[in-house]
Amino acid sequence: MIKKTSQFKALLHSGETQFLMEAHNGLSARIVEEAGFKGIWGSGLGISAAMGVRDNNEASWTQVLEVIEFMSDATRIPIMLDGDTGYGNFNNVRRLVRKLEQRGIAAVCIEDKLFPKNNSLLDNVRQPLEAIDVFVGKIKAAKDTQQDKDFCVVARIEAFIAGWDLDEALRRAQAYHAAGADALLIHSKRSSAEEILAFMQTWKNTCPVVIVPTTYYQTPTQVFQQAGISLVIWGNQLLRASVAAMQKTADQIHEQQSLHGIETQIIPVKEVFRLQDCDELRRAEGKYLPPMRALDAAAE
């Protein structure tokens, strides 16, 4: 069986634009795999929102690690964790990489903002950037720590998010690439892909580039392909879809004080059991437990 790290590296270097879908727990990760995606984005926004906290490093890195482990156990496709700023300095990054490799995670993306970070899509908040030489140290520490040669470290450039220009984004890209980053994630929250395309025109195919087109979703996918984007992340759509469905269902049940009107609009409980792979447990019971009849006789 091909390692998940090798699978992810192959996606980065396939020569075609590939796609990752966000997941935020084991169940959503399995749904992503069943939909046919070749990889999963372990969304920091999604994981923190599912915990009911803000995407400002309010969830500890060990809590995030526990969630990502469940996601890895539930799936056979590679996962890239949204590792925020690395949860501290270079030493925190080293420990994070060790723990991710132990759990079969294929890649981590770390961003060049200060810890604790603000979500990049928030309006009217400060988005201070890490000094380039400090962030370079984090990348080097991550690459020096990894044991699996195919584990990938993706450096996320937040220059556009913080209000800096293309020159600053390129300056950071060059430094992070030279430090050993396997790929760069260039981020923007404009409603068009203008900043991303300007970056790609200069950067070209120097190394794989990853994007998250949450705000410029109207840009045709072919534009990303033509620009040479290696990986497109659909970053939070499953989270938002599930919130909308839960809000609608809760409101309807509360208003009607009955399940009669909702039961035909939601999945049967059997589908939940299927996603949980309950049949595998039944087969295992048949293999490892004595027959039920013998147990009944013993009880008498």
What is the pTM for the complete model shown?
Answer: 0.94
Superfamily of segment(s) 4-235: Phosphoenolpyruvate-binding domains (3.20.20.60)
Q: Are 207 and 228 in contact (CB under 8 A)?
A: no
- What average pLDDT does this structure show over 243-258? 96
Average pLDDT, the chain: 95
pLDDT band at 298 (very low <50, low <70, confident <90, very high): low
Could you give the count of Cα atoms lying within 13 Å of 224 in the half-sphere of its Cβ?
24
pLDDT band at 62 (very low <50, low <70, confident <90, very high): very high
**Cα 120 from chain centre:** 15
Residue with token string 């990894």: 146
Determine whether 55 is an active site residue.
Answer: yes
Q: For the ranges 51-55, 116-120, 296-300, which has the lowest average pLDDT?
A: 296-300
Mapping DSSP onto H, E and C, the string for 104-157 reads: CCCEEEEECECCCCCCCCCCCCCCCECCHHHHHHHHHHHHHHCCCCCCEEEEEE
Per-residue pLDDT tens over the stretch 151-194: 999 999 999 999 999 999 999 999 999 999 999 999 999 999 99
pLDDT score at 296:
57
pLDDT score at 293:
64
What is the residue extent of each domain of the chain? 4-235, 267-300
pLDDT at 2 over 90: no
Q: What angle do CA 80, 82, 88 make, to 5 degrees?
A: 125
pLDDT at 234 over 80: yes
Catalytic one of 55, 84, 150, 182: 55
pLDDT band at 292 (very low <50, low <70, confident <90, very high): confident
- What average pLDDT does this structure show over 54-74? 97
pLDDT at 295 over 90: no
pLDDT score at 1:
61
- What average pLDDT does this structure show over 242-246? 98
Longest dimension (CA), the chain: 81
pLDDT at 299 over 80: no
pLDDT at 20 over 70: yes
pLDDT at 265 over 90: yes
